[in-house]
């Protein structure tokens, strides 16, 4: 099949998110490098934030990155802050499942909370996330002081909350006080049913 020739970003939007499509482009062309640049940002967003994943995959991370990104494309994942939770869910059914540990899980949950805190533009001040089997909450707070950034903290609960129906549960916190439990929301985890 001849390589795709393109002259606009608009022509290669699918390929910017799906590593399987990069081979359709001529390797010595700007479009190929442009796609590579886009994919590298996803790579860094995952592995710079959760370096413990590289213990599973090896230093290049590709044995996780390529199949996970392909799965994400197949399931049309939104690539929002829940991506890290979706990655954990994917890992639990991958060849890496027997080597997954609590540290990997907590790093991914913390990454999800941090990404929400820096990217969400809604009015909520925080997000609380729990993982099935844990009694605590990992909370991400948006920036509330001009001399600070977002904050992540683990909060132990005096009275345990009901467990989420799925692997993860989360709820948004309207202000900077964890005073009310509104019930769990659940991330979209394709193929995993509560």
Partner 1 sequence: MEIGINFTLGETLNDVQRLIQDGLVDYCELLIDNFLHVPPDDIARAFDVPLGFHIMLSRFLETDLASLKQLAHRLKPYIDTLQPTYISDHVARFSHQGRQLYHLAEVDYRQAYHAIKVRVEIWQELTGSQLLLENFPSILDGGRDAPEFFARLQADTGAGVLFDFSNAICARQNCELPLAAWDAVIRGNRHFHVGSYSPSILAPPITLDTHDAELSSDTLEFLYQHQEHLQDDGVTLTYERDDNPGYDVLARDLTRLRQHLTSQPD
Considering the complex, state which of residue 39 and residue 105 has its C-beta at the smaller distance from partner 1. 39
Query: Which pairs with CB-CB distance under 8 Å and at least 24 residues apart come from 114-119?
Result: 114/49, 114/140, 114/150, 114/152, 115/45, 115/49, 115/80, 115/81, 115/83, 115/84, 116/81, 116/140, 117/141, 117/142, 117/143, 117/150, 117/151, 117/152, 118/142, 118/149, 118/150, 119/80, 119/81
By CB under 8 A, what part of segment 103-142 binds partner 1? 118-119, 121-123, 125, 142
148 binds partner 1 (CB under 8 A): yes
For 121-154, the DSSP string reads: -SS--EEEEEETT--SEEEEE---STT---EEEE
- Only one of the segments 2-10, 49-57, 88-96, 161-169 lies at the binding site for partner 1 (rule: CB under 8 A); that segment is 2-10
The single residue listed with the structure tokens 């991330």 is 187
Nearer to partner 1, 35 or 167 (CB): 35
Nearest CA-CA partner of 15 in 70, 75, 77, 78: 70
- Whose Cβ is closer to partner 1: residue 45's or residue 92's? 45
DSSP-derived 3-state class of residue 25:
strand
Pick one of 45, 49, 52, 185: the residue that binds partner 1 (CB under 8 A). Answer: 45
- Contacting residue, 23, 30, 74, 103, with partner 1 by CB under 8 A: 30
Enumerate residues 53-92 that contact partner 1 by CB under 8 A: 76-80
Pick the binder of partner 1 from 48, 98, 133, 147 (CB under 8 A). Answer: 147
Cα separation, 114 vs 92, whole angstroms: 22
Question: Which CB sits closer to partner 1, 38 or 96?
Answer: 38
Give whichever of 123 and 159 is closer to partner 1, judged by the CB atom: 123
- Give contact residues for partner 1 (rule: CB under 8 A): 6-10, 13-14, 16-17, 28-34, 36-38, 40-42, 45, 76-80, 118-119, 121-123, 125, 142-149, 176
């Amino acid at each position: 099949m001849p390589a795709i020739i393109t002259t606009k970003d608009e022509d290669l939007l699918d390929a910017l998110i799906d590593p399987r499509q990069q081979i359709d482009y001529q390797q010595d062309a700007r479009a190929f490098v442009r796609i590579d640049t886009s994919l590298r940002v996803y790579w860094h967003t995952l592995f710079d934030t959760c370096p413990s994943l590289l213990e599973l995959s090896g230093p290049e991370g590709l044995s996780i990155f390529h199949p996970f990104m392909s799965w994400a494309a197949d399931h049309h994942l939104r690539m929002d802050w829940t991506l890290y939770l979706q990655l954990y869910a994917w890992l639990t059914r991958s060849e890496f499942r027997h080597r997954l540990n609590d540290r990997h899980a907590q790093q991914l949950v913390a990454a999800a909370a941090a990404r929400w805190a820096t990217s969400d533009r809604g009015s909520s001040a925080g997000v609380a996330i729990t993982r099935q089997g844990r009694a605590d909450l990992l909370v991400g707070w948006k920036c509330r002081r001009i001399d600070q950034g977002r904050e992540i903290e683990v909060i132990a609960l005096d009275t345990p909350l009901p467990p989420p129906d799925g692997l993860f549960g989360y709820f948004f916190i309207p202000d900077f006080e964890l005073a009310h439990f509104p019930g769990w929301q659940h991330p979209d985890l394709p193929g995993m049913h509560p």
